[in-house]
Structure 1
C-alpha cells in the first residue's frame, strides 16, 4: 500500500524538525528550542505564539519562555507583518548563519567567564607571590601563572575564531557548496 504524498511530506518535516532539535542540543541548547526553531523553519514564514503553542501542544507561557530564549541567542527575531496584531517570530533560513550565531553565542559566554576567572586567579596568585613563601610554593605559583597565561592565550584564540566565523571569512577557506 502506497503512502499518501501529504503523509510522506509531514513525516519528512517531522524528521527534519527532530534533527534540528538534536542539533540544538549539541550546541548546549534545550531540544525544545531546536524543536521550535525547526517548526518555524519548516513553516517558511513567521508564526505567532498561539500557532506555536498549537503546533507543539505547549502552553503559551512556556512557548513565550522558549521564544525569549531564542531571541536572547539571536536565532529568532520578532518581525512585523502589516495587518497582523499579534507578535510574529521568525528564524534564520540559512543553516550556516544559524551555526555561526549559535557557535558565537555559546563560545562568547565561555570566553567571557574564563577571562573573568583568569583575571581573578591571576590577581590572587600575584598577591600571594608577594608574601613570605617557601621555595616550593613560589615554584607552584609561578607554574600556575604560566598555566593561566596559556589558558588566556587559548581563550583569546577562541575569540579570534569567533571573529573569523562572524566575519564570514571562514567561507573563503571552507566554502559553502
Structure 2
C-alpha cells in the first residue's frame, strides 16, 4: 500500500525539524529554539508569532521569548513585508552561515566569561604576591599566574578563530561543496 505523498513530505519535514532542534542543542541552545528555527526554515518564508505558536503549540508569550533569544544571537531577524501588519520573523537559509552564527555566538560568550575570570584571578593572585606570602605559596601563585597566561593565550586564539569564521576566510581553506 502506497503512502500519501503529502504525509511522507510532512513526516520528512518533521524529522528535519527535530534534527535541527537536536543540532541546536549541541550548541547549547534550547531545543525549542531549534524547533522554531526548523519550522521557519521548512516554511521557506517569514512567519508571525501567531503562526509559530500554532505550529509549535507553544503560548505566544513563550514564543516571543524564544524568538527574542534567536534575535539576540542573530539566528532570526525581523523582516518587513508590505501589507503585513504583524511582525514577521525569518531565518538564514544557508546552513553554513547558521553554523558560523551558532559557533561564533557560543564561543564568544565562553571567551568573554573566561577573560573576565582571568582578570579577576590575575588581580587577586598578583595582590596576594604584592602583600607578601610564604615562599611555598609564592611558588604556587607563580605557577597559577603562568597557567592563567596560557589560559588567556588559548582564549585569544579562540577569538582569532571566531574572527576567521566571521570573515568567511574559513571557506578558502575548507570550501563549501
Structure 2 match to 1:162: 162
Structure 1 match to 2:172: 172
Structure 2 match to 1:47: 47
Q: Secondary structure at the match of 1:144?
A: helix
Q: Secondary structure at the match of 1:11?
A: helix
| 2:170 corresponds to 1:132 | no
Q: Secondary structure at the match of 2:78?
A: strand
Structure 1 match to 2:70: 70
Q: Secondary structure at the match of 2:89?
A: strand
What is the CA-CA distance between 1:133 and the residue it aligns to? 1.5
Structure 2 match to 1:35: 35
Runs of 4+ in structure 1 over 3 Å off: none
Aligned mates of 1:146, 1:97 — CA distance in 2: 37
Structure 2 match to 1:110: 110
Q: Secondary structure at the match of 1:24?
A: helix
Task: Calculate the TM-score normalised by the size of structure 2.
Answer: 0.99
What is the CA-CA distance between 1:120 and the residue it aligns to? 1.0
Aligned mates of 1:129, 1:146 — CA distance in 2: 14
Aligned mates of 1:113, 1:132 — CA distance in 2: 29
Structure 2 alignment gaps of length 5 or more:
none
Question: CA offsets, 1:15-56, max 9 Å, x none?
Answer: 000000000000000000000000000000000000001111
Task: Calculate the TM-score normalised by the size of structure 1.
Answer: 0.99
Structure 1 alignment gaps of length 5 or more:
none
Q: Secondary structure at the match of 1:158?
A: helix
Aligned mates of 1:132, 1:165 — CA distance in 2: 45
Bigger mean CA deviation after superposition, 154-163 or 131-140: 131-140
CA RMSD of aligned residues (A): 0.6
